[in-house]
Amino acid sequence: MLFFTQCFGAVLDLIHLRFQHYKAKRVFSAAGQLVCVVNPTHSLKYAPTRCAAAQTSVEQGVPPPCHHHEAVHDPQLVPCTCPLYSCPWEGHLEVVVSHLRQTHCINILQGAEIVFLATDMHLPAPTDWIIMHSCLGHQFLLVLRKQEKYEGHPQFFATMMLIGTPTQADNFTYRLELNRNQRRLKWEATPRSVLECVDSVISDGDCLVLNTSLAQLFSDNGSLAIGIAITTSKVHNAEAEM
């Protein structure tokens, strides 16, 4: 009976996944678009993140805590860029993608345009939906977060981070698009580098911000489909032509 129950549950999950995939295709019917169904994950950052701790220390006039390994710390090492965890990992920028995939099991999609389908939008904050997007020879990290900036008023924040340097990030433009019930909402901006904190980007509001009522307007039975497109920036193209 236990074996039957587990198998039946797995079959139901597969049916639910394919149903969500069908809904996304119905909303975004453009040919060639890849659909990624992303399940929510509650943030496991029970301890303050490194960037938050450093910012708090500076504001209070107290230097950040020192560690014994800082004397031989390699300045080329970067901390883990996954916003879900207080992960102590550090490594070179070139191996960040493999760390995110192997340690945090973050999916990656390839293509100029994809559809990010976030499920279970009704779950309480804080909740994150995360995927990686491989495009134009680079990898990007898309973060959708449900967070309360004011108590009792959750909002949704979506941003795109380049797994690269700020200079490289300036060469690209990303577009997030919501399209449902003859309504369309677009956000277009330059991606930020993962060398910056995702928390800081969200706190500054330099991203797509949706209140609960607006998110419900574009959601379909608790799922929110976001079309993603990445292009090279016009400035970069003009410099290349010169």
Residue 108 in contact with residue 92, Cβ under 8 Å? no
Q: Which domains does the chain have, with CATH numbers?
A: 31-38+74-232 (2.60.210.10)
Tens-digit pLDDT profile for residues 28-59: 444 346 788 888 887 666 444 444 443 433 33
What local confidence, expressed as pLDDT, does residue 51 receive? Answer: 47
pTM of the model: 0.73
What local confidence, expressed as pLDDT, does residue 28 receive? Answer: 46
For residues 144 and 209, give the distance between their C-alpha atoms in angstroms, rounded to a whole number.
10
Terminal Cα-to-Cα distance of the chain (whole angstroms): 70
Tens-digit pLDDT profile for residues 87-129: 889 999 999 999 999 988 898 888 878 999 999 999 999 999 9
What local confidence, expressed as pLDDT, does residue 1 receive? Answer: 54
